[in-house]
Every structure is written in C-alpha cells, then in structure tokens.
Structure 1
Amino acid sequence: MNLTSPFSLALATIVGLSLFGVPVGYAMIGGSVLYLYLKGMDMGAAAEQLLNGTYSSFLLLAIPLFILAAAFMSSGSVLDRLLRFCNAIVGRFPGGLAQVNVLQSIVFASMSGSALADAAGSGKLMQAMMTKDGRYTRSFAAALSAVSAVIGPILPPSIPLVLYALVSGTSIGFLFIAGVLPGLLLGAVQMVLIHALAKRRGFPLEEPVPLREMPRITRDAFPALMLPVILLGCLYSGITTPTEAAGLAAAYALLISTVLYRSLRWGEVYRALATSARVSVSIGVLIAGAMVFNYVITSENIPRTLSTMLSGLDMSPVGFLLLVNLLLLVLGAFLEGSTIILVILPVLLPTAVALGIDPVHFGVVCVLNIMLGLVTPPYGLLLFMMTRIAGITMRELLADVVPFLAVMLAALAVVTLWPGFVLWLPRLSGYTG
C-alpha cells in the first residue's frame, strides 16, 4: 500500500483522531472528507452518504426505541421482581447467586440489546449482591458480570443484529430468531462451568425459595417477562414491522413501569427519554460516519479486490469462517463492536455470499465473535468497565475470565461449524435460506 495515497492518509487521519479522543464517528467523517478532497471528488458526496445512512432507513428507528424500552424497564421495582424470579428458578443450585447472574442476563436481554448497558445496569447490581458479606470474590463476580453481559446482544432484540441487517439487507426478524439458540447456548455453557467451579471452590448455596412462593413470584414478574413474548410474537406473526415492534415494546415498558408496577415517576420518564436520546445520537453519529467511510471503501474497490484475492486462495466456506472468526476476535479486542459491523462486515459479506455461506448464519457468527471481543484481553471494553466497577486490577479479573472465555469459544465453534443449529428456528418460521 502506498503510504502517501489518499486512502492511506484517510486511514491515518481516522486512527490519529481516534487516539486523540475524537469519537470514532466524527473521526471517520473527517478522514473520509480528506479522502474526497485529495481525490478531487465532489465534497458533497460526504453529506449525501451521511444523510442516506441515517435518514433513509426506517429500520434504524428501532434502535432508539429498544434503548428507550430498556430505560423504562430498568427501574428498581422491575429489576427486583425479575431478580427474585431468577433466584427462585436457579438460586437453589450450586453457585446459586452466580447462576442467577447468568439467568438475569438472559432475561434482561429482552430489555437492552447492548452488552455495555447490561453490564452497567443489572451487572453492576449483581456485582454488589455477589460480593456482599464476602460470598464471592470481587474478581469472580466482575468476571461473571462481564461474560454474562455478552449474552444480551445475541438474543433479541439485538442492536448489533439491527446494524448487521442495515448493512446486509437481511431480514431483521430472521436474524433475531436465529440468535435465540446461540444466545441460550452461551448461557448454558456458562452455567455448566459455574456448577463445576462451585463444586471445586465451595461456592455458597442460596436458601431455596419454597415452592408455595413460586406462583406469587412468577405473578409479580409475569408482566415484565411478557415483553420479549410480545415483541417476537408481533414480529413473526407479521402484525408489525421490526420498528413498529420496537415502538410497541417501548410503549408496553412505559405502561407496566408507570401504571402497573408504579415504579417510574414522570421525572424519571423524562430522564429515561434524555438518556436514550444521548445514546441514540452517539450511535447515529457512528452509523453516519461508517456510511461515509464505506463510500470511500467502495470507491477504492476494496470489497471486490478482497473477494478476488480470497477466491484465488481457493478457500472453503469453513476455512473462510474460521479466518473471519480469528480476524473479528482480534479486532473485537481493540475496536468498538458497532464500528466493526458497519465498516468491516460490508467488506467481508460479498465473499461470504460468493462462497455460499448463508447471510443469516454469517451475521450471527460475526456478532457472536464481536461480542466475545468485548471480554477478550487485552483491550476488551467490558473488561475495563468491570475493573472500574469492581475496583480490581486487570490481572485479577483475567484470572477468572479465562475459563469462561474458553467455554464460550467452544460455543462459538459449534455456532460456526453447524449452520443448521443457527438456522433451525428461522426455517421453522419460514426462512428459505
């Protein structure tokens, strides 16, 4: 590569601005504008691509609505009811509170779709609960909160899968349902490992919840537990589009939080709206920057060049997926997940399709890789977040993260090498891929 070419200078500008703390979205816009200037191209192309990327997609409206639903459902009363329900289900097993941590991540997946949001919200709460009275070490609780938060973005509604649908043109409904079994598999391998560690380390047992209490606990949590049922039911029955389903989820979350549970005051509703707006704007800027930079990548003919190069290697679909796994695990340890989806995957997708890899399967494999990157040393974002929350060193955290990372990589291998596992539910729902 010519280090003085417009594309090389644009890349250097993006990296340099990012290192100086400029948000990645703005850095990509700045580098792309520099590329257009150096190439003598119409500078208005940047604004055109930016507007096309953020305002022409009805699907993108689902992201702020899912974020808003999560904000409404994160009130204390709702969280308490759901945690009591999780404790009643798995708290009696070895490593009870640790098992609750994993199950609550599966349950709360229907309310966030973001690993970082899960770790900062319910994960922070579980960190405090697990370390109370010294029942679990701070490093183990932090490691478990980090790895269990990875489950959320695999299960619907998943913001990363929405972004993949945007860049690939794949059905968001089929992507959502394709993520169900891989997400549950991640939870299952984590719970099995906790069971084994509980026997070896002597984790404390929680007091079993009497069976006579189960109907009351389930009844209290039932309205919140119905959110994913309503969301998926509307999607797969064809009653609503994904964006309309997201709006319905936000309205339902507001209704049960303010009217049924009465756990959300109107002042808190305003704060939830403001928080979701800030998060949505940051994601919107990132998407806009990625769309402009993707225009630069297309202008350089990089996707076709890469596809031709890989085709020349006579690579099998399995070999290509293993290469993608390695690439995304490395990138995920350094880059923010949304950036990878919006910038890197559009380059890889044409080759995957040319090799006969199903785009729904490819999307789930890629998103699972990217989420694992959040807990992959040395720079996984969830690792840094949990060291701050728990007040521990990275070395202490990694000692407890590594066993979980090993079993999650085994789950990734199953998802990668067995497409039928991922596509079984979508095909039951009418997917013909």
Structure 2
Amino acid sequence: MLAEYALPIMLVILIATTVAGLPMGIAMIASSVLYLFISGRDVGLGAEMVLNGVFGNFVALAVPLFIFAANIMDAGKISDRLLTFCLALVGRSPGGMAQVNIVTSLIFSGMSGSAVSDAAGVGKVVTDMMIKDNRYPPGYAGALTAATAVVGPIFPPSIPMVYYALVSSASIGALFLAGVVPALIIVVLQMAAAFVVAKRRGFPVEEAIPFRQFPLILLRAFPALLMPVILLGGIYSGAFTPTEAAAVSAFYALVLAVFAYRALSFRGFAAVVYSTVKTTAVVTTVLCGAFIFNYVIAVERIPQMVFEFFSYYQFEQWMFLLLLNILFLLLGCLLDVSTIQLVIVPLFIPTALGLDIDLVHLGVVLVLNMMIGLITPPMGVLLFIIKALNGIKLSDMIRELWPHFLLLLTVLFLITYMPDLVLWLPRQAGAMQ
C-alpha cells in the first residue's frame, strides 16, 4: 500500500531533513534509501549506484584534483605573484585596483576553476588592498570581488563544468573551450564599467610601476601564467584527458609552490591536504546522494514527464531557455551549485535534446546562471565569504552590487540567444561538430 506513495514520502523526508539542518548529501541518501525500502526494491541498489557512480566514473576524479590544485595555489603564495603582475599590467589605468581585481580573477580562474577559491584566495588580498586607507568604499570593493569571482567557473578549467559533464555526458573539453568567449566578454564589460565608475567617482590611479621592472615581474609570474597554457594545450593536443589534466594542474601547482617559489612548508602542505580532504568529503557525499536520487527519478520517469509537459504545450527553444533561466536564477538564490547540477539539471536534459538544444551551449548557460546565484541574496555564498574574510557589511555590498548583477544578466541573455558566442571556439578547435 505504501509503495504507491513512495515518491511523495521520499520528497517530504528530503525537505524535512534538509530544513532540519541535515547536510543535503546525507538527506538525499537517507530519503532515497527509504524510497527503495518502501517501494519494495532492493535497498542494496543504493550502494550499487554509489559504487558505480563514484568509482566507475573517471570524470568524477577531476573534482578533488582541481580542489587540491586551488588550495595549493592559495597556500603557496602563487596568487601574490599574479597580483603583482596584474598591478604592473593595468594598475596605472583609472580605477587601477578595480582593474587589477578583474584581471587577477580571470588569470586565477585559469588555474582554480572555482569561484569560491577565487573570492577566498586572491580575492581577499585584492579587496584588502582596495579598502586600505579608504581608497575605495568597502561595499564597492566587496561587490566587485564577488562579481569578478563569477568568471572562475566560466573560464577553463571549471569544476561546475565537470559536474555538468557528469550528468549530461557532454564533452568536458568542448565545455572548457565554450566558456572562454563568454568569460572574456564578462571581463571586458566589467573593466569598461570599472573605468566609467572610477572616472565618475574619482577613484585613485595607482602609482605607475617603471617599465624597466616589467621583465622581472613577468619572470616571477611566468611559471604560474603557464599553468592554463599547459592545461588546455595538453587537453586539445591529445596529450592527456581533462581528468588527467586536473592531476597535471595539481602536480604543477605543487612543484611551483615547493620548488620554484619555495613558499609551501611541510606543515602548509599538511594543511592543504586536510582542507582538500574535508572539501572533497562534502562534495563526494553530495555526489553519492545524487547518484541514488537520480536513479529514483529515472525509475519514476520524472525527466520523461518533464519532456512530455513541454512537448504537450509545444514550447519552442527560446521559451524553454527563458523558463530555464528564470528557474535556475531562483534556485541559485537558495541551493548550492553542486546540488543544482547533480539533482535538478538531469531533469531537463531529455527536454533539451528533444528541442535540439546543444548540450555544450546549455551547459555554459546554466553554469553562468548558477554563478550569478552565488552573488544573489538571500544565499549569496560569495557575499558571505567576503563578509567573513574582509569584514564588509552585506548591506554595503548589496547596494553596490546591482550594476554588476545587471551586467552579468546581460551576458547571460546574449549567450542564451546567440549560441555561436559559446560554440564558435570549440568548433574552430575541432572539439565538437
């Protein structure tokens, strides 16, 4: 009798345990196993889904490796050399430190693949530099850092792109390349906006670094700047797979931090390993829960039901994409990225395929959408990180954030309805047809 109500019971338990404060991954595991028990299916299927998903999927290994690489770069002072390079490069322009913030985020994103790592690592340092001696309003500095960190998972490599590849079977290599042009568009628009704001509000110009110092600054930063080149060059030359590229990036970051820059002690390395294991445990728990949960929604034919709904009402591509953007913007305000990627996204993949929407294009649109969610209240994870690390009031940041938010929405609209902006580079590189 209860078997007929297995799905509603599972959803009620999932919502109740999440609201009660249970971590999302554990809540998904508990509610999904309860579903298997009530529906009369073998409870051992839960363990089978986890084992096949986590240990049978080579792509999943990329996530902890990219996390490890990002943690090494934070601890190994690699970001400090990148910051000095960016200061020499764009610091002399109007609103110099704001421009440095933007460019540093782009370069650092080519190594970490994480918006949180960007904001908590190099973002913290440059924010402190901006608000020192009241040079910039704290709210503006914090809002800019949050908005620039959004570029991290758009520009390759990208941890959210890896999640998306897990649930959609889209090519990671194509996804990485597809994010390049949108990321550059965001950066150019952010730099233009920072220039206009600096002129209007009289923000300071940094003291020019003499040109004769450029070669030394470039030399010190050059090994770190090589990382994205090695990473992407290796992938698209066929030297290694995207997952192997994650291992290469972690190894290269370790070599730089320990031998080239001599900035990582044994104690520091132990702290990096501990932090990586801790973060990976959280991510893996969500992954395990998602694999069982996705099995349940597949058994219940929920993705097919979503497809039938859109087909019945004869939704066109532009209407589906518009509704998807609105939905994911709202979800991004409430849920973390990994949960959305692993649980919500699979519901819409069959519909996207049925409407002939390219999955690589869809992946970049959804990732940017979710990154905007990271700076959108009430969750606004990046805002809370900056508040905790830099002591800036949330209200001050939110007041300064809206121009950046509208700019990102503009880019989201452009890439949603102009797919060639996303797909041109991977096509030119032969990463997709």
| TM-score interval for Structure 1 and Structure 2 normalised by the shorter chain | over 0.9
Equivalent position of 1:203 in the other structure: 203
Shift of 1:126: 1.7
Equivalent position of 1:275 in the other structure: 275
Equivalent position of 1:415 in the other structure: 415
1:78-114 deviations in Å (ceiling 9; x for gaps): 2221101011111111111011111111111122211
1:254-278 deviations in Å (ceiling 9; x for gaps): 1111111111112212221221121
Equivalent position of 2:9 in the other structure: 9
Counterpart CA distance in 2 for 1:290 and 1:59 is: 15
Give TM-score, length-normalised by structure 2: 0.97
Please say if residues 76 and 257 of structure 2, whose CA atoms lie closer than 8 Å, have aligned partners that are also in contact. no
Counterpart CA distance in 1 for 2:310 and 2:168 is: 20
Counterpart CA distance in 2 for 1:235 and 1:338 is: 24
Please say if residues 105 and 151 of structure 1, whose CA atoms lie closer than 8 Å, have aligned partners that are also in contact. yes
Please say if residues 95 and 205 of structure 1, whose CA atoms lie closer than 8 Å, have aligned partners that are also in contact. yes
Please say if residues 173 and 431 of structure 2, whose CA atoms lie closer than 8 Å, have aligned partners that are also in contact. no
1:187-231 deviations in Å (ceiling 9; x for gaps): 222111111111111111111122221111111100000000000
Counterpart CA distance in 1 for 2:126 and 2:387 is: 14
Cα separation, partners in 2 of 1:77 and 1:383, compared to 1, 3 Å: closer
Across the two proteins, how many residue pairs are aligned to each other? 431
Shift of 1:233: 0.5
Equivalent position of 2:134 in the other structure: 134
Are 2:424 and 1:403 aligned? no
Which 10-residue stretch deviates more, 373-382 or 334-343?
Answer: 373-382
Equivalent position of 2:222 in the other structure: 222
Equivalent position of 1:338 in the other structure: 338
Equivalent position of 1:354 in the other structure: 354
- What RMSD in Å do the two structures reach over aligned CA positions? 1.5
Equivalent position of 2:425 in the other structure: 425
Please say if residues 108 and 118 of structure 1, whose CA atoms lie closer than 8 Å, have aligned partners that are also in contact. yes
Cα separation, partners in 2 of 1:288 and 1:184, compared to 1, 3 Å: same
1:354 maps to amino acid: G
Please say if residues 69 and 112 of structure 1, whose CA atoms lie closer than 8 Å, have aligned partners that are also in contact. yes
Give TM-score, length-normalised by structure 1: 0.97
Equivalent position of 2:265 in the other structure: 265
Please say if residues 189 and 411 of structure 1, whose CA atoms lie closer than 8 Å, have aligned partners that are also in contact. no
Shift of 1:23: 1.2
SS class of match (2:121): helix
Equivalent position of 1:23 in the other structure: 23
Shift of 1:430: 0.9
Map of 1:17-416 to 2, 5 A cutoff? 17-75=17-75, 77-416=77-416
Runs of 4+ in 1 over 6 A off after TM superposition: none
SS class of match (1:5): helix
Shift of 1:129: 1.0
Which 10-residue stretch deviates more, 392-401 or 167-176?
Answer: 392-401
Shift of 1:77: 3.6
Shift of 1:385: 2.2
Please say if residues 189 and 408 of structure 1, whose CA atoms lie closer than 8 Å, have aligned partners that are also in contact. no
Which 10-residue stretch deviates more, 74-83 or 244-253?
Answer: 74-83
Counterpart CA distance in 2 for 1:135 and 1:247 is: 40
Counterpart CA distance in 2 for 1:77 and 1:295 is: 43
Please say if residues 75 and 272 of structure 2, whose CA atoms lie closer than 8 Å, have aligned partners that are also in contact. no
Shift of 1:76: 5.3
SS class of match (1:356): coil
Which 10-residue stretch deviates more, 242-251 or 327-336?
Answer: 242-251
1:342-362 deviations in Å (ceiling 9; x for gaps): 011111111011101111001
Please say if residues 76 and 258 of structure 2, whose CA atoms lie closer than 8 Å, have aligned partners that are also in contact. no
Q: Which runs of 5+ in 2 are unaligned?
A: none
1:267-298 deviations in Å (ceiling 9; x for gaps): 21222122112111211111110111111111
Which 10-residue stretch deviates more, 414-423 or 114-123?
Answer: 114-123
Counterpart CA distance in 2 for 1:52 and 1:169 is: 15
Counterpart CA distance in 2 for 1:359 and 1:413 is: 17
1:53-96 deviations in Å (ceiling 9; x for gaps): 21111111111111111122223542221101011111111111
1:162-186 deviations in Å (ceiling 9; x for gaps): 0111111111111111111111112
Shift of 1:301: 0.8
2:244 maps to amino acid: E
SS class of match (2:406): helix
Counterpart CA distance in 2 for 1:75 and 1:292 is: 35
Please say if residues 79 and 121 of structure 2, whose CA atoms lie closer than 8 Å, have aligned partners that are also in contact. no
Counterpart CA distance in 2 for 1:153 and 1:271 is: 24
Give % identity. 48
Counterpart CA distance in 1 for 2:349 and 2:314 is: 17
1:19 maps to amino acid: V
Which 10-residue stretch deviates more, 95-104 or 375-384?
Answer: 375-384
Counterpart CA distance in 1 for 2:9 and 2:123 is: 41
2:425 maps to amino acid: L
Counterpart CA distance in 1 for 2:86 and 2:392 is: 27
Which 10-residue stretch deviates more, 326-335 or 78-87?
Answer: 78-87
2:283 maps to amino acid: I
1:194 maps to amino acid: A
SS class of match (1:223): helix
